[in-house]
Structure 1
């Protein structure tokens, strides 16, 4: 028999974890095929743990391929997508890739409205980002209503979060958010605990939403 404490703990857990986990089955350590990953996601959406599940992380260049498996989803259990843009080495290439991502999001959302919903955009920032860069990014996003998470290295996390907060304070649009990579397939991809802690403190200080990618399936190192 459940006690009031048990019920309270369950409600607290749901408040903390509800729709907080993105499914990245296309990437290490699983590196599944697109078909398998999407079918897994569709199955998870029909499970008792679906309340924890958020978006399916899908590279923009795979949108067309994903269309073949849209029938796995429906209006009651739509495919919620976090569109992933590529890493670039300079601002010019970054802006071109962002334009491509925005175009892809518009077209895909328009064609599969209510069955496939692009809720998020994730993309690594180019080096030497400043306020002018962020303003241009805002302009390119236009009327596309997604939660944008911009990735920067752990070394640049505090500075980037501060810039995002300053930009957010100057616009009434959807706030920009931060993404931190906490692991990968090589040792240098793992930031230190101190770097992660500093990023968390900065995000809390400046009220910038933050998400993590990779590495957290190995929380103790």
Structure 2
């Protein structure tokens, strides 16, 4: 499998618009861990508020690798043998000295070189929201370009969340919302590393052109791209996978 896509998909099946019941979501995630999709999977995403549901759903099975969303990165972490917390995410940071990978969510417009440097120096990563249930939750190409440029040029790793089911930038015919494409983001990250304009890469809606450009990213640049763009949360694993298959970027998986 192309290392550009290894561990790219964080499983956010319990979040809108998927809203899969916890037992179903855990069962599906475990099934995928035993399938050809396993290399694509990141951790299962869950909030602290639903910890008891998670524990009940995972009981009796192998430990589930989880990224836990907290109100603050300083929040004390729960423990249970059926859950392996591999990372934490939060919109607030009152201080964090833990050993886990930690993501601080910042509004796209508030991501600056200064804030990126502060996160990097604190040993934290960046979480960027790229969608939601309202149109204003989706940053424009220019807004996201500025955020990605700041992160890449500042040497910071980041993850994205929401609105990235489709590989290519598009307008959702049902809502009218403009969605970013995860292949566009991969390409934009590569272009930022090369010092090129990245807003154009984010805005491109020609799927074949974007996919071909992504396919042409060489091995050295792939490693650099994934050092920065770690993963994105998606309530559907099948849709992003279908997108990779559609553009010939992934071989058929079982």
- When normalised by structure 1's length, the TM-score is 0.70
Match 2:110 to one of 144, 153, 156: 156
Question: Does the 8 A contact of 1:42 with 1:72 survive in 2?
Answer: no
Q: How far off its partner does 1:176 sit?
A: 0.4
Shift in CA distance, 48/153, structure 1 to aligned 2, threshold 3 Å? same
| Residue number in structure 2 paired with 1:124 | 91
**What is the CA–CA distance in structure 2 between the aligned matches of 1:195 and 1:213, rounded to whole Å?**
15
For 1:156 and 1:73, the matched residues in 2 are separated by 41
Aligned match of 2:133: 185
CA separation in 2, counterparts of 1:165 and 1:17? Answer: 27
Pairing of 1:1-221 with structure 2 (within 5 A): 10=1, 13=2, 15-71=3-59, 73-74=61-62, 78-86=63-71, 97-99=72-74, 101=75, 103=76, 105=77, 107-108=78-79, 111-112=80-81, 115-125=82-92, 136-138=94-96, 142=97, 144-159=98-113, 162-169=114-121, 175-218=123-166, 219-221=169-171
Q: Secondary structure at 1:150's aligned position in 2?
A: strand
* Shift in CA distance, 157/164, structure 1 to aligned 2, threshold 3 Å: closer
Q: CA deviation at 1:145?
A: 2.0
Say which structure, 1 or 2, has more relative contact order (CA 8 Å, 6+ apart): 2
Could you tell me how far apart the structure 2 residues matched to 1:166 and 1:83 are?
A: 22
2: CA distance, partners of 1:56 / 1:152? 21
Kindly state the Cα deviation for residue 73 of structure 1 after the two structures are TM-superposed. 3.4
Give the number of equivalent residue pairs.
Answer: 169
1:57 Cα deviation from its structure 2 partner: 0.6
Structure with greater helix percent: 1
Gaps of 5+ in 2: 172-254
Measure how far apart 1:69 and its partner are: 2.1
TM-score w.r.t. the length of structure 2 is 0.61
Deviation per CA, 1:63-121, whole angstroms, max 9, x where unpaired? 122111224632xxx311111124xxxxxxxxxx544x3x2x2x31xx31xx4211111
- Using the alignment, how far apart are the partners of 2:149 and 2:155 within structure 1? 10
Change (3 A) 1:73 1:197: farther
Does the aligned pair in 1 maintain the 2:119–2:126 contact within 8 Å?
Answer: no
Over 3 Å counting, the alpha-carbon distance change for 1:167 and 1:27 in structure 2 is closer
Find the aligned partners of 2:60 and 2:165 in 1 and give their Cα distance: 27
Partner of residue 203, structure 2: none
Deviations 1:108-145 (A, max 9, x none): 1xx31xx42111111113xxxxxxxx6x412xxx3x32
Q: Which runs of 5+ in 1 are unaligned?
A: 1-9, 87-96, 126-133
Secondary structure in 1 matching 2:65: strand
